């Protein structure tokens, strides 16, 4: 295992090499209802309000701008996958346009890297032009969003809107984080034209709750039919295991071909 992989493992994110958060904090207040009825908070919120309190003195539901971190990717010479908002949502409605553009400008300059962007605010993606080395992704909807419980119908509408937006975004890699896989999302992904998907279990602190096996099978059937690469998070108990990346696109993007 190389140094980059070890660094990513320490952050608990198996599918990236580094995390980068010039923007921190999130106001989406995501919550997930567990099978036993307990409510799980966002993983990033859990980290910010416990082990990383010093970096989030106003709590996680606050906007932090850290321009001193902007040039961090430029210091990495070897091509790497960089998750650019593991402790934030760069497309959050509270993030000023000029800050987003500064982040994207660094991605444009650091052409050797692949930047993995992930948002729950998909419509805002349409306001920006992304360099070819930015993977544009959306997150499957939670049970609670911005203080409101989402019905199954509202979750379905959110997914349909996300897919609709991604079709209109010019990106080499369009992807979805289905983490947790908390309902049968497969029918909503038909003809989604995703290049990549990450699948994970529901978690509540150290506890994990496995998705129904038929939900996993249904998602894989749909994504396989579309030749979508699939990565299983380490909290999924499943065989055969998958750790796929959109390899051809990664190579062409990373080297500017």
Q: Give per-residue pLDDT as tens, 13-31.
A: 899 999 999 999 999 999 9
Predicted pLDDT at 87:
96
Q: CB atoms < 10 A from the CB of 145, how many?
A: 17
What confidence tier does 158 reach under pLDDT thresholds 50, 70, 90?
A: very high
Predicted pLDDT at 251:
45
What range defines the domain where residue 113 resides?
A: 3-254
Predicted pLDDT at 186:
98
Higher-scoring residue by pLDDT: 240, 97: 97
Predicted pLDDT at 11:
42
Could you give the CA distance from residue 173 to residue 157 in angstroms, rounded to a whole number? Answer: 23
- The C-alpha angle with vertex 177 and arms to 51 and 149, in degrees rounded to 5, equals 75
26: left (phi over 0), alpha (psi -120 to 50) or beta: beta
Residues 256 and 111 sit within 8 Å (Cβ to Cβ):
yes
Predicted pLDDT at 206:
82
* HSE value, Cβ hemisphere, 13 Å, CA-based, for 77: 0
Number of domains present in the structure of the chain:
1
* Mean pLDDT (whole number) for 47-62: 94
Query: Which pTM value belongs to this model?
Result: 0.91
* Mean pLDDT (whole number) for 118-140: 97
Determine which of 84-88, 134-138, 253-257 has the lowest per-residue pLDDT on average. 253-257
Q: Is the pLDDT of residue 7 over 80?
A: no
Residues 28 and 150 sit within 8 Å (Cβ to Cβ):
no
- Give the 3-state secondary structure of residue 136: strand
**Tokens 């295992």 -> residue:** 1
* Mean pLDDT (whole number) for 26-42: 94
CATH code where residue 51 lies: 3.80.30
* Mean pLDDT (whole number) for 50-54: 91
Q: Is the pLDDT of residue 257 over 70?
A: no
């Amino acid at each position: 295992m190389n140094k980059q992989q070890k660094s990513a493992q320490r952050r608990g994110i198996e599918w990236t090499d580094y995390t980068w958060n010039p923007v921190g904090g999130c106001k989406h207040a995501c919550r997930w209802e567990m099978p036993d009825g307990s409510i799980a908070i966002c993983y990033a919120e859990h980290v910010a309000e416990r082990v990383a309190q010093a970096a989030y003195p106003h709590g996680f539901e606050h906007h932090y701008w850290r321009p001193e971190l902007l040039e961090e990717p430029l210091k990495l010479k070897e091509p790497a996958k960089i998750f650019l908002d593991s402790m934030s949502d760069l497309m959050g409605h509270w993030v000023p346009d000029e800050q987003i553009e500064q982040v994207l400008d660094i991605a444009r300059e650091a052409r050797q890297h692949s930047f993995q962007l992930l948002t729950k605010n998909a419509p805002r993606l349409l306001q920006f032009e992304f360099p070819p080395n930015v993977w544009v992704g959306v997150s499957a909807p939670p049970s609670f969003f911005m203080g409101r419980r989402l019905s199954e119908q509202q979750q379905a509408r959110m997914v349909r809107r996300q897919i609709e937006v991604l079709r209109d975004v010019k990106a080499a890699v369009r992807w979805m984080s289905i983490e947790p896989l908390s309902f049968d999302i497969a029918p909503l992904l038909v003809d989604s034209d995703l290049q990549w998907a990450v699948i994970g279990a529901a978690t509540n602190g150290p506890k994990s709750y496995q998705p129904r096996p038929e939900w996993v099978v249904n998602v894989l059937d749909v994504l396989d039919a579309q030749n979508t690469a699939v990565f299983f998070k380490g909290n999924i108990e499943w065989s055969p295991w998958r750790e796929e990346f959109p390899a051809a696109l990664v190579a062409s993007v990373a080297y500017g071909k």
